């Protein structure tokens, strides 16, 4: 179990680092675009790169949020049950999320494999842009699996 948690920690740190880099790049590129638009010639590629970075940071960031249970949750109903039933509900939610992530991962991979066109302003194949789906959902799936095991064994960290 500790090995799985360590792998989850490493994945979370990598994803967090990537998010910081991507959001920093978005700020720099957008600032450069504004400066170039006002005083020079507008950058033809900046909006597309910023959009792609936002998409990637969203899917990678979703895994970090899920791991920290930072997503919006309605706990009013769950709080009405005794602790043991709450634990069963949390296990069921993680299993449902795991199944959802697995289905989305499958269709995300299929979608990536069907992409043959390139981006409008950049010589990048769109399948590389859409790779954020299987990567982000795969990490979410891993976290759901580990969190389910943690709930089952009673080793869930606060």
Does residue 158 fall inside a structural domain?
A: no
Contact 1, 149 (CB under 8 A): yes
Per-residue model confidence as pLDDT tens digits over 6-45:
998 999 999 999 999 999 999 999 999 999 999 988 888 8
pLDDT in the model for residue 52: 94
pLDDT in the model for residue 1: 76
> Which structure tokens are listed for 6?
């360590």
Predicted TM-score of the model (pTM)? 0.86
CA distance 110 to 51: 22
pLDDT in the model for residue 157: 56
Distance of CA 75 to the CA centre of its chain: 23
Domain count, the chain: 1
Cβ partners under 8 Å of residue 11, min gap 6: 63, 139, 142, 143
Contact 137, 87 (CB under 8 A): no
The domain in which residue 55 lies consists of: 2-153
Does residue 139 fall inside a structural domain?
A: yes
pLDDT in the model for residue 109: 92
Cβ partners under 8 Å of residue 144, min gap 6: 66, 94, 95, 97, 98, 101
Does residue 30 fall inside a structural domain?
A: yes
Burial of 3 (0-12, 13-18, 19+ CB in 10 A): exposed
**pLDDT beneath 50, residues of the chain:** 158
């Amino acid at each position: 179990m500790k090995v799985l948690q360590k792998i989850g920690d490493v994945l979370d740190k990598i994803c967090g680092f990537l998010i910081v880099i991507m959001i920093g790049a978005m700020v720099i590129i957008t600032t450069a675009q504004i400066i170039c638009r006002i005083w020079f010639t507008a950058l033809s590629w900046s909006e597309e790169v910023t959009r792609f970075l936002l998409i990637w940071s969203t899917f990678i960031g979703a895994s970090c949020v899920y791991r920290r249970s930072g997503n919006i949750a309605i706990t009013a109903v769950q709080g009405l049950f005794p602790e043991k039933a709450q634990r069963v509900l949390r296990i069921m939610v993680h299993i449902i999320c795991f199944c959802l992530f697995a289905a989305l991962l499958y269709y995300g991979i299929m979608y990536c494999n069907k992409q043959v066109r390139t981006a409008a302003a950049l010589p990048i194949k769109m399948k590389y842009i859409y790779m954020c789906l299987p990567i982000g959902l795969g990490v979410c799936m891993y976290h759901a699996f580990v969190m389910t095991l943690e709930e089952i064994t009673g080793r869930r960290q606060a």
